[in-house]
Structure 1
Amino acid sequence: MTHAAHHHGTQHQHEHHDHDTDVQAEILDLDAEVLAEHIASITAWLPVEASARQIVDLGCGTGTGTFALLARFPEAQVTAVDSSADHLRRLQEKARENGLADRVRTVQADLDATWPELGEPDLVWASASLHHMADPDRTLRQVRETLTPGGLFAVVELAAFPRFLPAGAPENRPGLEERLHAAIDRHHAEHLPHRGADWGAKLAAAGFTLEGERTITVEIEHSRSEAVGRYALSSLRRLRGTVADALSADDLAVLDQLLDTDSPGSILRRDDLGVRTERVVWAARRT
């Protein structure tokens, strides 16, 4: 889910906003590329009784879930919902390039405001979007009202920001990534209070029947994939933008070496990167 800020005024603000959106889009695209197998394993696990025909992807970003769901359910149409017009435009371009334009409808909407008309889906998918909602309990109730009876709601949430560096790295500042994670956790606790919520309990409280919960562990070790390097670079750049003020001068200096693609210490020059993270999936039915 992306919350596109509505900037008015200076060209600088527009450029800053466009840059933020581009950075986020790049991370979402790399996430889809690097974790494609894991996302496919999630869609394969979903306890869907008949092949889904009408699917809604809430907070679709640039389409990671949309395209995984189109592949998993070949007869389905997906309505992709996001607050960012830029992300939706990218998603539409990808759909056209892959010959899927006739199976995708995009809806730009702020899900904290007026709930859009989404038809009668038999599957609703929300990946890494619910924790952004101002009132997720309200969102869960609205999803339940939108689903057809017997329809399934799949909630996917990140257990933590991915880790990329091996233990003891970087050699000149061991533990840097742990300190970055501690800083982002403090930031999220303050600004995203619903991150890490017990979505199983929330789904039950909203009237759903919980059908399953699964933790997907991602462990890609010592990858020489260029995509993993770019994913690490983009993710840590984004992290720096959020937590720079909370870091020591020494940590910030070493982080900047990692992020400097011209530096001998650049993260892109390492051959020991990995991707370690967890995603939790809940499948809940409207009964």
Structure 2
Amino acid sequence: MGGHGHGHHHHHGGDFDWEAMADKLEVDGAFVLPLVGSVVGDLTEAGHDPASVAHVVDVGCGPGVVTCALAEHFQAATVTGLDTSAELLSRLRLRAGESGLDTRVHGVVGDLEQDLPQLGPADIVWASMVVHHVDDPAATLHRLCGLLRPGGALVLIEFGGNPRVLPDHDPLVARGTWQRLEDAATASLERRLEPGMIGRDWSSDLTGAGLTDVTDRFVAFRYEAPLEDLPRRWLVRHVRRGLGMAEALPADDTAALVAFAAAVENGDRTDPFVVADRRVLMARRPD
């Protein structure tokens, strides 16, 4: 499952390694930046002129890679990053300062499963790979709808399909090893989430929250071979994270995937590419 590299950072104990979590989430955030640009283009086509967008809220913003990218796309906007973790929000503030965005990018502690802080009406609410973590997604989407001004848009980004990283004739693909890794990681993820969360009927949830003009599609993005540093790091971690989630993979599969990750990391394999997608839903609060 293409999204099993999401970051979930609720309910961690006091000894949790927030720096390591932030590092991982920064790689994940940077990896999807081509998707962000594509979705912003869709918003523009839907009538949300970037020059007239005054306030964007990025919920579950983590260390703020996408938050700051949204500020770059919407250059007249204040962008509020909302997250449960003060530790991750401190990384957001640092990033905003280093990017010269600290006058427009702000972090606010808030929990999607509780009443949200008063943030002022938003033109766009961006919720990427976060709503599937809550106990009651429908109630959460009602809260997010309440952040929008009339005519504002909610962007919901959820799990896509399995990424493709090698041609069909490569032994890892041809022998089914890659597919078994993805299937096992998806099964592990499904056990961790509420039942039915992967592939959920989000369109009905959005309509039930009072939103209209709902669109629901898969948006693809790609990195060509030879991979540059960022997608190469993402791919290595995707494989190793999948191996950590996957249970009862055949020993031959595990050995082949461990060797593949090491070869990519060391630069011994330059043929992998990445073709990934995410499910992107957009909806509008009625005027």
Q: TM-score, normalised by structure 1?
A: 0.85
Aligned-partner Cα distance in 2 for 1:267–1:175 = 24
- The corresponding residue for 1:111 is 112
- Tell me how far 1:140 sits from its aligned partner: 0.8
Mapping for residues 194-213 of structure 1, pairs under 5 Å = 194-213=197-216
Over residues 124-157 of structure 1, what are the superposed CA-to-partner deviations in whole Å (9 max), with x where a residue is unaligned?
A: 1111111122111001111122211221111122
Over residues 212-257 of structure 1, what are the superposed CA-to-partner deviations in whole Å (9 max), with x where a residue is unaligned?
A: 34431223342342322111012222222222x3312222222222
Aligned-partner Cα distance in 1 for 2:120–2:173 = 55
Mapping for residues 45-56 of structure 1, pairs under 5 Å = 45-46=42-43, 47-49=46-48, 51-56=52-57
State the superposition RMSD in angstroms: 2.5
Aligned-partner Cα distance in 2 for 1:137–1:41 = 26
- The corresponding residue for 2:127 is 126
Q: Please, which of 36, 40, 47 is the counterpart of residue 43 of structure 1?
A: 40
**Residue 180 (structure 1) aligned with residue 171 (structure 2):** no
- The corresponding residue for 1:156 is 157
**Residue 273 (structure 1) aligned with residue 276 (structure 2):** no
Aligned-partner Cα distance in 1 for 2:30–2:150 = 36
Aligned-partner Cα distance in 2 for 1:56–1:168 = 44
CA 1:191–1:150: 2 relative to 1, 3 Å = same
Aligned-partner Cα distance in 2 for 1:277–1:236 = 14
Mapping for residues 26-37 of structure 1, pairs under 5 Å = 26-31=26-31, 35-37=32-34
SS at match of 2:279: strand
Q: Which amino acid is the alignment partner of residue 138 of structure 2?
A: D
Q: Which amino acid is the alignment partner of residue 237 of structure 2?
A: S
CA 1:139–1:74: 2 relative to 1, 3 Å = same
- Tell me how far 1:112 sits from its aligned partner: 1.9
- The corresponding residue for 2:285 is 286
Q: Which amino acid is the alignment partner of residue 27 of structure 2?
A: I
- Tell me how far 1:19 sits from its aligned partner: 6.7
Aligned-partner Cα distance in 2 for 1:267–1:246 = 27
CA 1:184–1:248: 2 relative to 1, 3 Å = same
Aligned-partner Cα distance in 2 for 1:153–1:115 = 16
- Tell me how far 1:107 sits from its aligned partner: 1.4
Q: Is the 8 A contact 1:236 1:259 kept in 2?
A: yes
Most deviating of 219-228 and 246-255: 219-228
CA 1:84–1:24: 2 relative to 1, 3 Å = farther
- Tell me how far 1:186 sits from its aligned partner: 1.3
Aligned-partner Cα distance in 2 for 1:267–1:164 = 17
- The corresponding residue for 1:146 is 147
Q: Which amino acid is the alignment partner of residue 231 of structure 1?
A: W
- Tell me how far 1:282 sits from its aligned partner: 1.7
Long gaps (5+) in structure 2: 1-6
- Tell me how far 1:173 sits from its aligned partner: 8.5
Instruction: Give the length in aligned residue pairs.
Output: 274
- The corresponding residue for 1:24 is 24
- Tell me how far 1:286 sits from its aligned partner: 1.0
SS at match of 1:252: helix
Mapping for residues 42-81 of structure 1, pairs under 5 Å = 42-46=39-43, 47-49=46-48, 51-81=52-82
Q: Is the 8 A contact 2:152 2:285 kept in 1?
A: yes
